[in-house]
A and B are shown apart, each in its own frame.
Chain A
Amino acid sequence: MYKYRRPISWPLSQFLTGQPRPFALIIAIAVVVSLTAGCRRDPAPAATTSGSTRIQRGGEIVVSLRAEPRSFNRFVARDTGTALFGQLTQSKLIRINQVTQDLEPWLAESWDVKGTTVTFHLRPDGRWTNGDPVTAADFEYSWKRTLDPALAADYAYQLYGIKGAAEYNGCTGGPAQCNKLRDKVAVKAVDDRTLRLELTSAQPWFIQQASHHSFLAVHKATVEKYGAKWTEPQNIVTDGPFMLESWEHESTITLVKNPNWRDADSVSLERVEGKIIVDGTTRVQSFEAGEIDALDGAGLPPEEIDRLKEEPYYEQYAALGNFYYGFNTKNLDLDTRKALSLAINRKVITDNITKAGQVPATGMTPKGMPGFDQINPNSPWLPVEGDVEQAKSMLPASAPKTIGLFYNDAPGNKEIAVAVQDMWKELGIETTIKSQEWAQFLEFLGPPPNKAVDVFRLGWVYDFVDAINGLELFTCDSGNNNTNWCNKDFDALVEQAKNETDTNARYELYAQMEDIMFGENGEVPITPIYWYTYPNLENDAVRDTFFISPLDQIDFTKVVVKGT
């Protein structure tokens, strides 16, 4: 008798041919088992696994990072993520008090400024994580390495204020020639604890600038031994309040407290876990699911801000940054620029589009900058609620009927452009708005900007706490001046400010610069729209001590988790 052999376990066939077998039961059991096996909740994770679902108590904090830090490598790192972790793991010479913007001694316990000579005196108790003392020679090595043309460091230009730096960085000859130039760079470790520099001009803000992350030191022996791999967790040597424990690229970075740091007792946090989450909505969701304690001020999706502002975990910080529309002064004459600037109702934009407490701008330098009251011109051309009537009367007959507005395709820019388009329509001007991808957009702006660009959107986030950082963008040959505007008097004032050591006198110069741009007889090369804020989400446990400074820095040595 032929014994039928079933095809390789095909329970489905039972179902299909209508045989009353326990088919359904088998399938149901299989499905339920597989689903529940996958749906198992993670138990409390071990110390080395990342992505835990509940935050650890006991002085540990989970933060979201907006992007993978480009590098811990002081030489090339340029983004906020790197800056953040750089500051955690490395010690700066100077620290800027986040609240008052005053300079505080940090690794340098004191400094002298005599004309163009700056001398830093280092503390004796700075230590690298391998026990070596931090010396002035480390700084001399690090800064010269940053300027090395072979390294092609992005932020080398931050050091151009030092005599000989720009020349060394621009060296195109062979090693012999460049080494000669290197020896001419005016940074010298006079002894283990004294670092002396010669600047190109007085640059009163230089000490401030020295708190930028491009001025941090690296450990020479480690860099020379491991080359490009020196930032891997097993090789890295740092000298700051936290140490790198692990780094899973694009996923998580874990820092632990450095117990040998000179001030370790004052640091409450034991562990900082940074989860790299690039998408804004995902960040918010992760926070609301309780997976992270705080965001890093990276910005919230515009459509969520309304809802999030009502929540107790929403926080807002003033930022030193400027959102502006720049004009192509070759295409638009003075009266047209004034009219266009008058017609913009900034309050409508900050209240209804950006909605995160941004401040309508009345000049270039943002509120919160030291000297603001003296510097701010309270420009008649930047009315908070716009002044369409005056704009209409100012608009010359020769004004173009259509203008092109260019912006980069980041969240929020389009809505603002559409609003402004509407405002300018009331003047009888048709605005064509064009969105471009970032790198393309930058190419279009030049300088000099493409002919088709009449108005462009741009922003500026300050590198250090001094108004010159924003004002010097508009000198005649600044690489950041995309307006075709060139005013010799303005440039002269900038030069003067570089050598003016009296703070009040310098603020007076800044006020004059702002007056040239935005005063009664101002030339309005740009029209600032608002000054930034950093909206953030922080949960109850850390909210009291978590603080984002106007320069977008978070000092984790000050953060305390409630209950620890």
Chain B
Amino acid sequence: MTAFIIRRVVWTIPVICFVVLMTFLLMRQIEGNPFRRTERAVPPQVQANLERKFNLDKPAAVQYLLYLKGVFTLDFGPSLVLRDRTVNDIMREHFPVSIKLGLLAFFWALIIGLPAGIIAALKPNSIYDYVLMLFSNVGFALPSFLVATVLIYYAALKWDLVPTNGWPSGTWALDSRVLLPSIALGFVPMAYFARLVRGTMLETLQQDYVRTARAKGLRYRRIVGLHVLRNSLIPVVTASGPLLGYIITGSFVIEFIFSIPGIGRYHVQSVNNRDYSVVMGITVLLAIIIIIANLIVDILYGFLDPRTREARS
């Protein structure tokens, strides 16, 4: 197990180098002057000063190496657009917000998606199954901004239950403003989990050992709760890793609509602004998050499924 972990960790380094290279090439491919944000042309002296300050006048290879050095010393430099703030500052202040939003969305997905899938699987082709799967399909189909807008319209404007936008400050603070964004963001994972769990449970319920257990006389409750569920939830754990990564990275639209000061909004805006250092910093950060999430899932998988443990050792 430790060898496995060490190998994975070591592999991270070339992956990160590759991510930096791809990001660097892509950003250079899309033209655009990071210092010209309005129609006003930038006078040549000002442009020259800015390029010198941010090392953009150096040859491409040198710039790439500077970025690489920045990544591995974890110093991504100042933002090209928000000159007073460094990329590290930006990430430190806004990344926890996105994590919180992502975890809350994930929480909703678990709370609602899992039971929905389980019920649907245990009462297949019944009214419960049809209704729940209908919700699941609709949840997949609806784009998150539509869900968000509808939620705001009803919950915030018409029924006046919660504020329309905003986010509580502070790492552990929670108030009514977190409800709508996390539900809107968690809609698709909810639908996904429901479908996934239903599928795996249906499949597991067909297994021979379930039939054996019933034949032995075990109560259905015990079979489902103890055996079937544990086997069915393994794919859910596997899916959770990338899904959590996806939630955290894909929260841009929700953050935009609800004015949440998260990292997703910064990421997209920095691409539009051609803010090279922020783009590099956030992309690398997200790559690391996804790698770590996948690693944790793989480790957990080993614990959950004895068959993998056997295969590995």
Contact = CB atoms under 8 A, between A and B. Distances in A.
Given A40-B176, A160-B43, A166-B45, A251 B164 contact: no
B221 A17 contact: yes
A151 B272 CA distance: 24
B259 interface: yes
B160 A289 contact: yes
Given A7-B222, A278-B259, A170 B39 contact: no
B81 interface: yes
A55 to B, nearest CB: 12
B149 A10 contact: no
Contacts of A496: none
Contact of B46 (A13, A150, A156, A251): A156
A13 B165 contact: no
B84 A231 contact: yes
A279 B274 contact: no
B307 to A, nearest CB: 21
B119 A12 contact: yes
B279 interface: no
B284 interface: no
Interface stretch (B6-14, B48-56, B58-66, B242-250): B48-56
B123 A16 contact: yes
B83 interface: yes
Contacts of A288: 157
Contacts of B225: 6-8, 10, 12-13
A190 interface: no
Interface string B225-269: 110010000000000000000000000000011110100011000
Of the listed residues B85, B118, B177, the one surrounded by the most CB atoms of chain A closer than 10 A to its CB is B85
B112 to A, nearest CB: 10
Contacts of B81: 70
B30 interface: yes
Interface string A460-499: 1100000000000000001110000000000000000000
B157 A71 contact: no
B259 A275 contact: yes
Nearest to B30: A440
Interface stretch (B16-24, B166-174, B298-306): B166-174
A458 B41 CA distance: 12
B262 to A, nearest CB: 8
Contacts of B213: none
A39 B163 contact: no
A108 interface: no
Contact of A440 (B31, B156, B169): B31
B164 A38 contact: no
B40 interface: yes
Interface residues of B, number: 74
Describe A's contact surface by its main secondary structure: loop
A169 B31 contact: no
Of the listed residues A249, A250, A288, the one surrounded by the most CB atoms of chain B closer than 10 A to its CB is A250
B254 to A, nearest CB: 11
Contacts of B43: 156-157, 160, 479
A458 B160 CA distance: 41
B253 to A, nearest CB: 10
Contacts of B36: 439, 442
A451 B90 CA distance: 40
B32 A443 contact: yes
A234 interface: no
A277 B259 CA distance: 5
Contacts of B175: 40, 42
A460 to B, nearest CB: 6
Contacts of A50: 166, 169
Given A16-B224, A160-B43, A480-B40, A439 B272 contact: yes
B84 A275 contact: no
A42 B119 contact: no
Contacts of B38: 78-79, 461
Interface in A258-302: 275-279, 281-282, 285-286, 288-289, 291
B84 A73 contact: yes
B33 interface: yes
A8 B32 CA distance: 58
Contacts of A370: none
A51 interface: yes
Of the listed residues B49, B163, B273, the one surrounded by the most CB atoms of chain A closer than 10 A to its CB is B49
B33 A10 contact: no
A156 B224 contact: no
B152 interface: yes
B146 to A, nearest CB: 12
A289 B226 contact: no
Contacts of A440: 30-32
Interface string B107-142: 000000001001100110000000000000000000
A12 B119 CA distance: 8
Contact of B82 (A49, A71, A229, A480): A71
A285 B152 contact: yes
A241 B152 CA distance: 37
A149 interface: yes
Contacts of B258: 282
A184 to B, nearest CB: 15
Contacts of B100: none
Interface of B: 30-46, 48-50, 52-53, 78, 81-85, 90, 93-94, 115, 118-119, 122-123, 149, 152-153, 156-157, 160-169, 175-179, 219-222, 224-226, 229, 256-259, 261, 265-266, 272-274
Given A7-B221, A281-B149, 15 more contacts: A6-B222, A8-B225, A10-B229, A51-B165, A51-B166, A51-B168, A53-B163, A152-B46, A276-B261, A282-B258, A288-B157, A439-B33, A459-B39, A479-B41, A480-B41
30 contacts: A7-B221, A16-B224, A17-B220, A17-B221, A39-B161, A39-B179, A40-B175, A41-B161, A70-B82, A76-B84, A78-B38, A79-B37, A150-B49, A153-B49, A154-B35, A154-B50, A228-B84, A251-B167, A275-B166, A277-B259, A279-B257, A285-B152, A285-B157, A286-B164, A291-B164, A291-B165, A439-B274, A461-B38, A478-B41, A480-B41
